[in-house]
A and B are shown apart, each in its own frame.
Chain A
Amino acid sequence: GENVEQHPSTLSVQEGDSAVIKCTYSDSASNYFPWYKQELGKGPQLIIDIRSNVGEKKDQRIAVTLNKTAKHFSLHITETQPEDSAVYFCAASLTFGNEKLTFGTGTRLTIIP
């Protein structure tokens, strides 16, 4: 089955700097890659996703890049703010709409004021 590895497990950045979280996946047939943000005491919330027919997607300060050849994808957060502090999870699934998402192990991002 699919295996998703996520790095780093913890990340601290100064407010205003950029943060990058990286994930690799094992199944070359995977073609849907969402990112979820989990704030303390809450359930995860989708922040951005990308399908394999697209190499990059941006939404304001958040961007995701996908390299299908290397089987890795990354989350980029620019101009970080204190409210970006949370745990971020990447995930992968075989098809868009496929119910079986495989999640990475999470990255705890701390923004230092």
Chain B
Amino acid sequence: NAGVTQTPKFQVLKTGQSMTLQCAQDMNHEYMSWYRQDPGMGLRLIHYSVGAGITDQGEVPNGYNVSRSTTEDFPLRLLSAAPSQTSVYFCASKLTSGGTNEQFFGPGTRLTVL
């Protein structure tokens, strides 16, 4: 199992550009989520999905879109990047049943918006 994979590892954007952060998991997890990590602020939930075709907003959803067309993939889209979106982004996945609530995190994408 590759676990949770994220691409790219690093990205630099100019203000107003758009891009998609990719996330994939091969553990057949129903739940997937996106967090951003900023210095001194911990991890904050952006969007999450409990299964294909179902998404919902987290704590900081503005400026980000998601979709979940398959169980494996959960891309995060920035439609018009802003400097405030400079951050490290983590994707995570977990089972929604089975007695464990462990979230498995990917290695992260470091995004800089100039």
Q: Footprint of B on A, CB under 8 Å?
A: 1, 4, 6, 9, 32, 34, 36, 41-46, 49, 89, 96-97, 99-106
Q: Which of chain A's residues has its CB closest to B92's CB?
A: A43
Interface segment out of the listed B11-19, B63-71, B101-109: B101-109
A43 shortest CB reach to chain B, Å: 3
CA distance A89 to B37 in the complex (A): 12
Chain B residues, Cβ within 8 Å of A96? 101
Chain A residues, Cβ within 8 Å of B31? 99
CA distance A78 to B31 in the complex (A): 34
CA distance A89 to B44 in the complex (A): 12
CB neighbors of A among B1-35 (8 A)? 4, 31, 33
Using known A-B contacts A99-B31, A99-B48, determine if residue A43 contacts B105 with beta carbons closer than 8 Å: yes
Q: State which of B33, B58, B96, B101 has its C-beta within 8 Å of the C-beta of A49.
A: B101
List 17 A-B pairs, Cβ < 8 Å.
Answer: A42-B108, A43-B92, A43-B107, A43-B108, A44-B90, A46-B102, A89-B42, A89-B43, A96-B101, A97-B97, A97-B101, A99-B31, A99-B48, A99-B50, A100-B58, A100-B59, A105-B40
Q: Footprint of A on B, CB under 8 Å?
A: 4, 31, 33, 40-45, 48, 50, 56, 58-59, 90, 92, 96-97, 101-103, 105-108
CA distance A44 to B97 in the complex (A): 21
| Contact call A44/B105, Cβ cutoff below 8 A | yes
Using known A-B contacts A32-B101, A46-B102, determine if residue A99 contacts B42 with beta carbons closer than 8 Å: no
CA distance A44 to B33 in the complex (A): 13
Q: Which of B43, B96, B106, B108 has the most CB of A within 10 A?
A: B43
| Contact call A105/B101, Cβ cutoff below 8 A | no
Chain B residues, Cβ within 8 Å of A105? 40-42
Chain B residues, Cβ within 8 Å of A103? 42-44
8 nearest A-B pairs in the assembled complex, by CB-CB distance: A43-B105, A103-B42, A103-B43, A46-B102, A105-B42, A99-B48, A44-B105, A43-B90
CA distance A64 to B103 in the complex (A): 18
Q: Which of chain A's residues has its CB closest to B90's CB?
A: A43
Chain A residues, Cβ within 8 Å of B42? 4, 6, 89, 103-106
